[in-house]
Chain A
Amino acid sequence: MSKPDAVRLREDGMALLGRTIAVHSHDVINAFNVISEMAGLQLDLLQEAAGGEPVDLVELEKICRQIRSYARSGDATVRSLNWVAHRFDDVNPEVEVGQTLAKAVTAAGHLLSVRRVSIALEAPDEQAFARVDPFLLAYAILLGLETLTFKSPRDKTVTVGWQPVPQGIEIAIESGEPVEPPLDREAVRARFELLLRELGGAIETLEGDARGERLVLTIPASRTPAGGVSETGKEVR
């Protein structure tokens, strides 16, 4: 890859990382705000009780459960952000595809939360490993999801799935409806090709019709789901 391409890829990746951090931190702030309001409501109830009113134990219990639920949600958001941030400096060349997709989909769920999009993950119940740059793989998935949900209609569902194929591992990102405004195929293809050259993969299709849009990328597997070694793998573990 030429130096300008590499710089552009890193710059694009940094911009996406910035947006991801902004959205995750907003979700954490939201969790803190709700917890703060609930603590305020608890104080109101306690002050009423101190003033002689009966203690509403059912309400207090409900608030405690909600506080715990929001604390867990905030914790999960921070963990998701932490995962994304560490992909930038991750030097491990082998990634477990299913787990990486699941984490990337969680991060994308935060990133796309204001777009009324739900993301479904469809993956086989098995493990497969790929020898790719983990940041670039996460970046490709986030970019694909962001592209296919741009100006999406309300309650759109996008599906992310993977399956082993003879060439390696095929990752498909599909939108059930067309992208509005129409996808700029050449620009998107150029960005993905740049990414995939670095990932060592290839775009098999970038197609659209009246029903929807589909991005498919195939990356070389280092280990097959059955535990064997693929022909494209460079090392046996």
Chain B
Amino acid sequence: MQADPDRILLVDDDATFLETLSKRLQKRGLVVECATSGEECIAKARETVFHVVILDLAMPGMDGIDTLKELQKRCPGIQVMLLTGQATIQAAVEATRLGAVEVLEKPTDAETLIEKVREARTKHIAVTETASGDEIEEILRKHGW
């Protein structure tokens, strides 16, 4: 197992789907947390650092697109993938425009999903490093160091 395993947040309003997919991903070495609504997803993403959030599109209340917007606002740099049973071209374009790194259609093979998670995590690391570098530069500039 990796020293720093991939930590993902799975979001879907179907609890059985969440339970099943999370078991399959955990068997493959990922650390998985689940949320059954957009609101719960936002709360968990603010409490814990996840490398990738995997979002369903159609959910009661806050849907996948609204959740994606909130995540980008509240958790900058977070990598979001959409995993949906009703992917339309418009939804995929909208999600990509809002910063989703991937739009996948259910059912997706577990190995393919993990491959996409790893790709997204690489982007997460790059974004986090760039952000940290910018913050360090800002501190140095402020203090005239």
On A, residues with C-beta under 8 Å from B are 26, 29-30, 32-34, 36-38, 40-41, 44, 48, 63, 66, 70, 113-116, 154
Contacts and interface: CB of A to CB of B under 8 A. Distances in A.
B85 A114 contact: no
A26 B21 contact: no
Interface in B19-36: 20-21, 23-24, 27
A34 B61 contact: no
A114 B24 contact: no
Given A36-B107, A38-B20, A30 B85 contact: yes
28 contacts: A26-B86, A29-B85, A29-B86, A30-B14, A30-B17, A33-B17, A33-B106, A34-B16, A34-B20, A37-B20, A37-B21, A37-B24, A37-B107, A38-B16, A40-B20, A40-B24, A40-B107, A41-B20, A41-B23, A41-B24, A48-B27, A63-B20, A66-B20, A114-B60, A115-B60, A116-B60, A116-B61, A154-B61
B16 A33 contact: no
A29 B16 CA distance: 14
A145 to B, nearest CB: 16
Interface of B: 14, 16-17, 20-21, 23-24, 27, 58-61, 63, 85-86, 106-107, 110
Nearest to B106: A33
A34 B17 contact: yes
Contact of B58 (A32, A41, A70, A114): A114
A236 to B, nearest CB: 47
Given A40-B24, A40-B110, A44-B24, A26 B16 contact: no
Contacts of B106: 29, 33, 36
> Chain B binding site: helix, strand, loop or mixed by DSSP?
loop
B17 A26 contact: no
Contacts of A38: 16, 20
B17 A114 contact: no
Contacts of B16: 34, 38, 66, 70
B17 A37 contact: yes
B38 to A, nearest CB: 12
Contacts of A116: 60-61
B65 to A, nearest CB: 12
Going nearest first, the 5 A-B pairs with the smallest beta carbon separation are A36-B107, A33-B106, A37-B20, A29-B85, A116-B60
A34 B23 CA distance: 13
Given A41-B23, A114-B63, A34 B86 contact: no
A33 B58 contact: no
A131 to B, nearest CB: 38
Nearest to B110: A40
Contacts of B86: 26, 29
B141 to A, nearest CB: 46
A66 B24 CA distance: 16
Contacts of B59: 114
Contacts of A70: 16
A44 B60 CA distance: 31
Contacts of A30: 14, 17, 85
A59 to B, nearest CB: 9
A37 B25 CA distance: 11
